[in-house]
Amino acid sequence: MNPGDRVRVDRADRSYEGVLLPSSTDEQLVVKLEGGYNVGIDREDAAVDVLEEDVYEIDGSGADDEGGSAVEFDADLPTIALISTGGTIASTVDYRTGAVTAQFDAEDVLRAVPDLAGRANYRGRVVANILSENMEPPIWQDLARAVRDEIEDGADGVVVMHGTDTMQYSASALAFMLETPVPIVFTGSQRSADRPSSDNVMNAVCAVEAAKSDCAEVMVCMHASESDDRCALHRGTRVRKNHTSRRDAFETVGAEPLGEVDYDSEAVSFRRDYQQRNESEVDLGLEADLEEDVELLKFTPGMDPAFLDIVEGSEGLVLEGTGLGHVHTDLIPRIEELIEDGTTVVMTSQCLEGRVCDRVYDTGRDLLEAGVIEAGDTLPGTAKVKLMWALANADSVPEAMETSLAGELQERSTPWE
């Protein structure tokens, strides 16, 4: 028996029927039941009958030394590259400890999400196998190069499987690094595959459908509501995770989502302008250099000015100020010293809606006079990633930070309904 086979497992007076999944240990069988639960069963206590072999056939013969693999179903279907970085969507349960661990590669995700079968030809690649809190800028660079290689090798779209906690940072990084002719879609899962309420299947299916669409941008595809009906497509530089555990945790800030995918009909629709697919363009623009010595600091009332000493000598600092982009006036002289010493300082706002404008009050005018750069309505996390990219690639960092490069900076900040 092999993963992907439909099996019946008898143990004592109970029987389990479902699809055999890869196990984290040699001593355990893991079976996905029809109801959505995974069960772990000791091999030595179980009698197993294979009901049907290769229900979800996965051909790993195309694996290469760099961790790539090929999964083909139909030569007439588009080719989608599945790139795994880890996270809950690519996790399993260790039935010895009960812990959820990130250990699946792209092939394992196909086994765990059999609904992906028949939608595309798949190529798999593992760039990292980490939980997203361990994501680092060098992995963004590895990821950008892997995406570039997959597209140049003929992929019609790319799906990046990523942990949700830092997905918005990684999506922003790729949006600045790559000029892509095809869709690049980030997706993940708020709840692990062993839970009946898991969102991994719908998110993965909708992400593949989005990767087959005409939108050649970096997007994040996650549940649009708590129901299993549709996924929202968020522009990678305008999205934010706004809830710790809800399945519809991701929201586009300051606008409607770019589009959505209807799960039942598989229809992909867009409600805003987007960069269209350009299949004739295979030589991607890739600017993957990053200045990593950039910090993001949130101002709060009563903050000790000594916090600014920590970033002394840094190449860049993004401040998350109050309202229109303010900090305590006592901090401004120290900020000016940092700028004079060579640190690029960018101002964003803690507010979820609206843009910074340091020309309204005296504090803001003093910040501008000190040399602080306004980031408009760019989200603070996105601004940090953008500053890292701009310091390494832009001819003029102030001009880059005040210009929309990948949809991160909107012309107007107005409420929407």
Residues marked as catalytic: 88, 164-165, 241
From the number of C-beta atoms within 10 Å of its C-beta (0-12, 13-18, 19+), residue 388 rates as: buried
The backbone torsions φ and ψ at residue 416, rounded to the nearest 5 degrees and listed phi first, read -130, 160
Spatial contact of 367 and 317, defined as CB atoms under 8 Å apart: no
CA distance 42 to 102: 22
3-state secondary structure of 54: coil
From the number of C-beta atoms within 10 Å of its C-beta (0-12, 13-18, 19+), residue 309 rates as: exposed
From the number of C-beta atoms within 10 Å of its C-beta (0-12, 13-18, 19+), residue 103 rates as: middle
CA distance 173 to 203: 21
Spatial contact of 288 and 144, defined as CB atoms under 8 Å apart: yes
Spatial contact of 167 and 188, defined as CB atoms under 8 Å apart: yes
Strand 68-71: give its sheet, edge to edge. 68-71, 121-126, 79-84, 157-161, 184-187, 218-223, 230-235, 259-262, 268-270
Tokens of residue 251, six digits: 């929201």
| Residue 273: how many other CB atoms lie within 10 Å | 8
DSSP state of 190: S
End-to-end CA distance of the chain: 53
Rounded to 10 degrees, what is the CA torsion of 218, 233, 387, 302?
A: -160
**Cβ contacts of residue 334 below 8 Å, gap of 6+?**
305, 308, 309
**Cβ contacts of residue 344 below 8 Å, gap of 6+?**
315, 316, 317, 373, 387, 391, 397
Spatial contact of 218 and 174, defined as CB atoms under 8 Å apart: yes
CA distance 181 to 211: 11
CA distance 176 to 4: 38
